[in-house]
Structure 1
Amino acid sequence: MPEENPLNQSQKQLNDIPLSVLDLAPIVTGGTPSDSFRNTLDLARHAEKWGFNRYWLAEHHNMPGIASSATSVVIGYVAAGTSKIRVGSGGIMLPNHAPLVIAEQFGTLESLYPGRIDLGLGRAPGTDQTTMRALRRDSRSDGQDFPEQLDELRSYLNPSSSAGMRVRAIPGEGLNIPIWLLGSSGFSARLAGQLGLPFSFASHFSPDNTLPALEVYRSNFRPSEVLDEPYVMVGVNVIAADTDEEACWLATSMEQQFLNLVRNRPSPLNPPVKNMDELWNPFEKATIQQQLRTSIVGSPKVVKEKLQAFLDSTQADELIINSQVYDHKARLRSYEILSGLK
């Protein structure tokens, strides 16, 4: 868990904040991307019914276990199959794309589903270096020009800031599409603060940087026409089940996924196993447990206590929950339990 909240802020309660869903559209062993997309829409419909605030999908490439590479397309699919939950990207990796293309894609989504689309942006590739080069073509595009790309994208959506533009995003121009910056370090945290934008931090895979990045964001925040005060959403892995034993068993699928990444052998999401010690060595175990140390796994009582402790330390304004569970019904049950904790 992150350390105790260093700021003298009034403590927030779980009941006070929205919960949202981060879906990596997992492809499971023995399954297909078609299965993943059906499960994604089914989860989104349940999340809407259970009162979750937003439903985000993430851009990853060359990953056998993640189906959401064409993120904008999947967002449209989910938005079309739901009616009120916000749907967006967690996130679009902007250096992989021309800003004009993203402005047009999300302008199209916002035109189709007005008032429901979020545009979360990251500067990492969402893949390995070889695939990054295949995506970007230009090896000089390494994310260092992310602030300039962001400025260009925002100018297409708000042309009043760039009078006389000869290139226009249609659809996109003049639409109110909330832009979030996403990060796992301090770079985007500082930029989001300076621009007065909402910030989402990936604590679900970068726990050590969580509190430092949130402090960077809050200390650099400048009010803007978007926000008067900082707004932080923090990502966290949660796997809930009716018993602690079942939840720990289900969580071995996520642990295997991280183990395969450590071994540079990304794979589909595997079924749970009884004993992870038969799969990893002591060094791998220590590495993965450190990376997953903010993950919350257990029965409803345990999850509620640990999630409140996580909120106490981060003082997040919103939590976005990732649940990598092999069995779709068990994954639904995990989110159902979460919805009942508030």
Structure 2
Amino acid sequence: ASGHLDVRVPKAFSNEMERTTKKKPPSTTSIHIMFTGYDEHSYSSDRNEKVSEIFKNLLPYPEQGRIFIGFPTHQTTGCSSHLAARLIPTVERESIDLVDKTLAVYNNEMLCLVGILCRILYEDEMTQISKLYKEIVGSSINSEDEAIKSGREYFERKAAHALKHFTYKPSTPSVAVGRIAESQFYSCSAKPISILSTRGVQPADLVRLPNPEMEAFIKTVPVVPKIIMEQCDVFIKKAKENLKIMKEIKINDVFMELQSRALTIEETVALMKWWISYRTKENPSDNDIHQFLRLTIVKLNDNDIFPLSKARYFLNAS
């Protein structure tokens, strides 16, 4: 992907930059970022033994990409994309100059634009996944159809690849390079980053981190799929602890689930096991208990349902 930029700077800034680099800042410039999607990467990996070292270096994933300024530098990007841009290097021409006052401003602005372009690439990939996910998987929650199950797994792996690709790690030798791009990657849009959930692509703040005790009965609340939890653990930790855009699934999410549908007998058994465990660890309010009883509806068969609030007795299995 490429971004084309108009460069407008004050005359004093232009003069200072010319004094330092012996060149005026360009009137226009461009940045180029390489992103390889899941399908292309899988295909190239399958044929990896037949690909020369020259072309292997074009695909840094899962390692970090490098910055090219007409020639390769030692500076990594922080994510798994190579970057080609007219960034200004240090005197040694091996890393990006973030020390000189004037050059630091110029390079910082360029790196911010890199972060924006990376976000555009990522969100475009999520848009494509969302469209196909709706067509193939749809809104099914308990489908045993092999085509749907296979499609769901494929999209989860595809989404995990994109998310892992753009999850920033400390860049080297300058950590600041990756930090600048990453900051803009997350802050350039008022909308939180998109992520594939068990209910399709959603803004990350609407997706919950899973609780194994709830897995059997939480079907309509968007939850992070197992594949993404396993492959994108660095992002998950960052989203929860640093960005604070993702939360553990809570009792209010359980109420949303119960409000949306009647549960099967098997799901109700799992729900009651969780509820017993929850009450031993937490101290639910009277309102929470009332909500739980009011919202829990058991589907006995195709025609009959039973509200838990009407239960008066239970069978002691012991």
Give me the TM-score of the superposition, normalised by structure 1. 0.23
Structure richer in helix, relative to its length:
2
